[in-house]
Every structure is written in structure tokens, then in C-alpha cells.
């Protein structure tokens, strides 16, 4: 795939000066919109997960006219509901040395020096407000006996800063955001459209002014207009087919915005989570996460001997290798995800993996149960243990869990500036859909923090600065008609192929190819293979896909086909991005770039930048945004 290099880009909105004052400074310089004018301004928010739900509720509360969309039958079924382990905040309730600065430091380091310092500092700063907001809404965070909020540890941190509600933190936080949203729906400031899928962005006179959506029940194509559009449409890990994401997660909204001119940043940065239930068969359609919180008390190990087929209980202590504790004594089982995943892969590649196919390692609670008692372990992790038992038929109180890495989160997404605005004026992108805060590796419990920081606190301030110039008048009819025709043409094309293979079968093949060639380890050879094969498979898709039913009814095959079509184009960009980033950093591990210990080896001289891709008729154009580190010195990451 050919590409060219365009001019460098900069984040023009990032304030300067001491880092502690930058967000304050931006909040003060952002223009305000008076309450009477807010009522005349219209904002579309696509997505009702933690990012979109909190944003729509807050914008409604502020007095804007909001229209909100999601493809589920209820806003509270957004994928955020699946989040298990917790949400970080620099509250330092434990007095264990945490601070805003330490959370900032851990996150910049955890992201392997590929995130912006200003954004990360703001995230750490706002984190403390999120907990207050959620508690005020009644979110039932776990509490200690005395009534204080409890915390636990997540990877990449030596303090205990993760707030949680058993293994259902996302669910409880989403119910909080959903209640706030429902309140605004009842108050008439937010109009909700469930089961509507955004299929294109309307850009008029250079501004994002609306969306084209399909009513998923009737098939009707609708147009909706606004003064600004917010995409909070989640991540695209499902490009790999098998992932821990909800089955519906897809790239369509951000990809189609990319086709309209929004730059796509760091598409190759994918997070592989170390603790998931291993794949069990060819026809499996999804993978299940076992929360990272389990690594607080569970110990990861494999047999010392290769091809050891003994039951775990028959393997004596001295014949076990607690490899994370051995290799990384300072962080032990709580090393960041990228490091833990690669270590699991390495021991399995050595032939020491456990379970069918040798693709698994143990996560063992024996010592925790002996130390804390079964009841205490059950209290903390009961629902996760139950989930594991239901899926595998094994009781983790008695035998260690078997786990293996799986695709989990995408750090890449649409490029945004400090105001969370994309390269299309008026198009804001929040939550997992943007690229902004996690660099090349997201630390656990930081996605919920970012989604809610964006939705409750950052966007509602920064969007005002943009809307202060509105309302922006009528939307150009030609632009609307063009977008609508584009959507209809694509649907008609998908319906008319009438081939022999289901969209799902193409998706499965694409996903396998991505996992094999652009997964946990990437090489020049594997990426070139992928770049050769993806266009062939895409060609076959457009010649041979079979979409049953009609476009004028509820048609999940059609929905799937549209999403798979976009996954093909995204997959190609991911592989290209991975190919030209010849360094290893965070979740992007190029086998050619590793140090003597097999750890990721960055190349700061050539790659300390964000790769922001522009889509043009002549192929992708790469714009680099240089990354500068004033506060956290760029060093080789070490968790030893």
C-alpha cells in the first residue's frame, strides 16, 4: 500500500506554561456561551457509553439542545457496561504516596512515551472529580468496613488507586451516567434515538454539521443536523474478530468520519490484555476478559518443565515458575498489560504453556485463599469467578484459572487536539474513539477514567469555545444529499452482490489474518503479507458476500456487512502504520526491535511522534505530530 508524507501537524490548542496550570488556563481562555444562547445551539452526540452518555447528560444540563444516538435498544447497553475491574483516580485515600503527578507519571511511562504530556496531566487532574461525581450520583463503589471508599491496584502502578464496584464497575458507572442522561431526556434537553446507526458525517462549509443514520428497525435513512457533532463510538478491537469487546463494537462511525477528512491517529496501537479465557475452538465468536484486578491476588505461573501435562495441583512449588515475579520483582504480577502479555506469549512459545494447545498460563488464587480466606476472595472477585466457572466448567477456588492474552482495547482512534476536536472543525471525538491519552499502551482502569473525564468535564468546557461562534445557519443541501446518496449507494451495493459467503465468514478470516500478522508480535514480513492479503480478501468480499433479507427492515446481516467493509479498510491502514513504525513501543511489538532481554525497544529519535493519517483519493498521507517530554524524562521503561 503506497503512502506519502505530508506536513507535520501541531496541537494548536495545547496551552503552555507550567503543566499544573495548563487546564486551568485553557478553561479560562475558552469562551463561554450564555444560557440564552445555549438553547439555540444544537449538538449531536453519537454513542451512549461512559463517554457519550456523560457528555450528552452534561451538555443537556448545561442547556444545549442535544440529540443522542446509539445502536443498542437502550443507552445503558453500551459496551461500557462490560467494564469490570475499576477506575483510577489520584485521590490518595490510602496515603500510599499517590498524587496527581504520580498518576500522570505512571500513565506517560505506561504509554511508553507516546502520549501527550498535557493531555495526560489533565486526565490525572480531573480523575479526582470523577469519583466525587459518581459518588454523588449514587454509584455503589466498594467500601471498607469503616465506610470509606476502597481501592485496589492495577498494572503499572505501585499504589492502590483503582476504585471499583466488585467486577462490575463499568455497569455501575454507566447506570450513573444513564440516570443523568434519562433526567435530561425527561427534561427535554436531550432527544434519544436508540437503534439508529450513524453511517456518515455531514460536512458543510468545512464544518461537521450532522449525521446520516439508518433506523435499524425500519431501514429508513434519516438526516439530522446540528452545530457540532460529538463521536463517542468506542473502540475497534473487533477488527480482530475475536476480542473481549462486545460483539457490536465496530469502527464505522469513526472510519466514515475519517473518509470525510478526520485524521486517524496511531491505528496500529492495539492493546492485548494478558488475562482472558483462552480460545476454545474454531467456531468461537467472542473472548471473555478476566479482569486485571485479579492480578492483585492471583499469581501467574507455568511449569518449569516443558510440555508438563500434570494437573496443576500435582506440580510442586519448586517446579513452578512464577515468571512475572521472577523477571519483574518490583511490580511482579502487576506489570502493565503489554509486558504481561508478551511474557505469557514467551513462556508458551518455549513450550511451557498449559491447557489445550499449550496456549495458556495459570492465574492461581491458592495463596490468596490461604492468606485471606475464601470469603474475602469471594467478596472481591466472586462474580468473576462465577463467570469463569460458567464458561470453562472449572472452579477457580479449587484449580487455578487458565488465561491467555486477547485483543482488548485500541489506543488508536481519530486524532484530536487538546480541546478534543478532530481535524474537521465542529467534530469532537471522546472516549475510546479518540487516540489522545494512552500512548502506545493503556494502563488498566484508565479507559473509564478517560471516558468520564472527556464526557463530564473536558468536552463540556472546550466545545463551548467552538459553539461561541454559532449557531452556524442552514446546512448546505448539496452536502446533505451527497452524504445520503453515498450511504444509500453503499447499502445497495452490499445488497446486490448476492454471493455465497456471509459477512461473518469474511470477518473471521480477516480477524485471523490480523491476529497472525499484526497481533501480539509484528514483523516486516508478516505485515507485508497482511498488506498483500487484505486487498485480495476485500475484493473477494465485494464479489462474493451474501446479504440476505432486504434493506427496508431489521437486518443484522446488512449491519454486519457494512461494518466488515469498513474493517477491511481500517485493517489495511493498521498494517501500514505498523509496518512503517519500525520501533517497538507499548502494545506495538516489532520483533526486529527488542533489547537483549526481549523487551520492547523504542526508537525515540525517529518515532517520538503521533502518526496521524489523512485519507485522500491518492492514498493515505502521513502527518507527524512531534511529541515532546518536558516533565517525564524519556527512558527505557523498566518494571524490574
Ligand X SMILES: Cc1cc2nc3c(=O)[nH]c(=O)nc-3n(C[C@H](O)[C@H](O)[C@H](O)COP(=O)(O)OP(=O)(O)OC[C@H]3O[C@@H](n4cnc5c(N)ncnc54)[C@H](O)[C@@H]3O)c2cc1C
Residues that bind ligand X (CB under 6 A): 46-52, 69-72, 78-80, 82-87, 169-170, 197-198, 232-235, 244-245, 249, 252-253, 289, 291, 408-409, 431-433, 445-448, 451
CA nearest 491: which of 263, 285, 256? 256
d(Cα 77, Cα 174) in Å, to the nearest integer?
9
Nearer to ligand X, 409 or 613 (CB): 409
33 or 463: CB nearest ligand X: 463
Which is nearer to ligand X, 114 or 214 (by Cβ)? 214
- Choose between 83 and 558: whose C-beta lies nearer to ligand X: 83
Nearest approach in angstroms of CB 243 to ligand X is 7
Least Å distance between CB 11 and ligand X? 21
* Dihedral sign for Cα atoms in the order 314, 316, 319, 320: positive
Strand-pairing partners, residue 222, are 213
The DSSP result for 59-110, as a single string, is: HHHHT-EEEEE-SSSSGGGSGGGG--S-EE----TT-SS--HHHHHHHHHHH
Rounded CA-CA distance 82/169 in Å is 8
CB 171 to ligand X: min, Å: 10
Q: Which is nearer to ligand X, 39 or 247 (CB)?
A: 247
Which DSSP helix (H) or strand (E) runs through 187?
A: helix 169-187
Q: Is 337 a catalytic residue?
A: yes
Q: Residue 6 Cβ, how far from ligand X at the closest point, in Å?
A: 28
- Residue closest to ligand X, measured at CB: 49
Tell me the C-alpha distance between 443 and 131, whole Å.
Answer: 18
User: Which of these, 506, 255, 520, lies nearest to 408 by C-alpha position?
Assistant: 520
What is the DSSP-derived secondary structure letter of residue 236? Answer: -
Q: How far apart, in Å, do the first and last CA atoms of the chain sit?
A: 40
Min. distance of Cβ 155 from ligand X in angstroms?
11
Q: How far is the CB of 445 from ligand X (least distance, A)?
A: 4
Q: The sheet that has 196-204: what strands, in order across it?
A: 196-204, 207-215, 221-225
Instruction: Say if strands 162-163 and 299-303 run parallel, antiparallel, or are unpaired.
Output: unpaired
> Distance between alpha carbon 426 and the CA centroid of its chain, in Å?
22
Minimum CB distance to ligand X, residue 75 (Å): 6
Name the residue nearer to ligand X (CB basis): 302 or 387.
387
Among candidate residues 207, 337, 538, 590, the one labeled active-site is: 337
Decide whether 254 or 302 has the Cβ nearer to ligand X: 254
The C-alpha cell that represents 449 in the structure block:
477514567
For residues 627 and 610, the answer to whether their CB atoms sit within 8 Å is yes
Cα 556–Cα 209–Cα 254 angle in degrees, nearest 5:
45
Place of cell 452526540: 45
Contact 607, 592 (CB under 8 A): no
Burial class of residue 103, CB neighbours in 10 A (0-12, 13-18, 19+) = buried
Q: Hey, which residues are catalytic here?
A: 337
Amino acid at each position: 500500500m503506497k503512502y506519502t508524507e505530508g506536513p507535520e501537524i501541531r496541537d494548536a490548542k495545547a496551552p503552555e506554561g507550567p503543566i499544573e496550570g495548563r487546564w486551568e488556563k485553557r478553561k479560562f481562555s475558552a469562551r463561554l456561551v450564555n444560557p440564552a444562547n445555549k438553547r439555540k445551539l444544537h449538538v449531536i452526540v453519537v454513542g451512549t457509553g461512559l463517554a457519550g452518555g456523560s457528555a450528552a447528560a452534561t451538555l443537556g444540563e448545561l442547556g444545549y439542545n442535544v440529540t443522542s444516538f446509539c445502536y443498542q435498544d437502550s443507552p445503558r447497553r453500551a459496551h461500557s457496561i462490560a467494564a469490570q475491574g475499576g477506575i483510577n483516580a489520584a485521590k490518595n485515600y490510602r496515603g500510599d504516596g499517590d498524587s496527581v503527578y504520580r498518576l500522570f507519571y505512571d500513565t506517560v511511562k505506561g504509554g511508553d512515551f507516546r502520549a501527550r504530556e498535557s493531555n495526560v496531566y489533565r486526565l490525572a487532574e480531573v480523575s479526582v472529580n470523577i469519583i466525587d461525581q459518581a459518588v454523588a450520583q449514587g454509584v455503589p463503589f466498594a467500601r471498607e468496613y469503616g465506610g470509606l471508599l476502597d481501592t485496589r491496584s492495577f498494572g503499572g502502578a505501585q499504589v492502590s488507586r483503582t476504585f471499583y464496584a466488585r467486577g462490575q464497575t463499568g455497569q455501575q458507572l454507566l447506570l450513573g451516567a444513564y440516570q443523568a442522561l434519562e433526567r435530561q431526556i425527561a427534561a427535554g434537553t436531550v432527544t434519544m434515538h436508540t437503534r439508529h446507526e450513524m453511517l456518515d458525517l455531514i460536512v458543510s462549509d468545512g464544518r461537521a454539521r450532522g449525521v446520516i443514520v439508518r433506523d435499524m428497525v425500519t431501514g429508513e435513512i434519516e438526516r439530522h443536523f446540528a452545530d457540532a457533532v460529538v463521536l463517542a463510538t468506542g473502540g475497534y478491537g473487533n477488527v480482530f474478530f475475536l476480542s473481549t469487546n462486545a460483539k457490536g463494537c465496530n469502527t464505522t462511525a469513526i472510519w466514515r468520519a475519517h473518509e470525510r477528512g478526520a485524521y486517524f491517529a496511531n491505528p496500529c496501537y492495539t492493546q492485548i490484555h494478558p488475562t482472558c479465557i483462552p480460545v476454545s475452538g474454531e467456531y468461537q465468536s467472542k473472548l471473555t476478559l478476566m479482569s486485571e484486578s485479579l492480578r492483585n491476588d492471583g499469581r501467574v505461573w507455568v511449569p518449569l518443565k516443558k510440555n508438563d501435562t500434570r494437573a496443576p495441583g500435582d506440580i510442586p512449588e519448586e517446579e513452578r515458575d512464577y515468571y512475572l515475579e521472577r523477571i519483574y520483582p518490583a511490580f511482579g504480577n502487576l506489570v502493565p498489560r503489554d509486558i504481561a502479555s508478551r511474557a505469557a506469549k514467551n513462556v508458551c512459545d518455549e513450550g511451557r504453556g498449559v491447557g489445550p494447545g499449550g496456549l495458556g498460563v495459570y492465574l492461581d488464587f491458592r495463596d490468596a485463599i490461604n492468606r485471606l480466606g475464601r470469603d474475602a476472595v469471594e467478596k472481591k472477585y466472586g462474580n468473576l469467578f462465577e463467570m469463569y466457572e460458567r464458561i470453562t466448567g472449572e472452579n477457580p477456588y479449587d484449580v487455578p484459572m487458565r488465561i491467555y492474552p486477547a485483543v482488548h482495547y485500541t489506543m488508536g482512534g481519530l486524532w484530536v487536539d487538546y480541546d478534543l476536536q478532530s481535524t474537521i472543525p465542529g467534530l469532537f471525538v471522546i472516549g475510546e474513539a479518540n487516540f489522545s491519552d494512552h500512548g502506545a499502551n493503556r494502563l488498566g482502569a484508565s479507559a473509564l477514567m478517560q471516558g468520564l473525564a472527556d464526557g463530564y468535564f473536558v468536552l463540556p468546557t472546550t466545545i463551548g469555545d467552538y459553539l461561541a461562534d454559532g449557531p452556524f445557519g442552514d446546512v448546505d443541501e448539496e452536502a446533505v444529499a451527497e452524504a445520503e446518496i453515498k450511504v444509500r449507494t453503499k447499502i445497495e451495493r452490499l445488497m446486490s452482490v448476492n454471493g455465497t459467503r456471509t459477512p461473518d465468514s469474511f470477518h473471521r478470516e480477516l480477524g485471523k489474518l490480523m491476529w497472525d500478522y499484526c497481533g501480539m508480535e509484528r514483523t516486516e514480513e508478516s505485515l507485508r503479507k497482511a498488506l498483500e492479503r487484505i486487498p485480495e480478501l476485500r475484493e473477494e468480499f465485494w464479489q462474493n458476500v451474501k446479504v440476505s433479507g432486504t434493506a427496508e427492515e431489521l437486518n443484522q446481516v446488512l449491519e454486519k456487512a457494512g461494518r466488515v467493509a469498513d474493517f477491511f479498510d481500517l485493517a489495511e491502514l493498521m498494517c501500514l502504520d505498523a509496518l512503517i513504525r519500525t520501533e517497538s513501543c507499548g502494545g506495538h511489538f516489532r520483533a526486529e526491535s527488542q533489547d537483549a532481554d526481549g523487551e520492547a525497544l523504542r526508537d525515540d529519535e525517529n518515532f517520538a511522534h503521533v502518526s496521524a493519517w489523512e485519507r485522500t483519493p491518492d492514498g493515505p498521507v502521513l502527518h507527524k505530530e512531534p511529541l515532546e517530554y518536558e516533565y517525564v524524562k524519556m527512558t527505557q521503561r523498566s518494571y524490574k
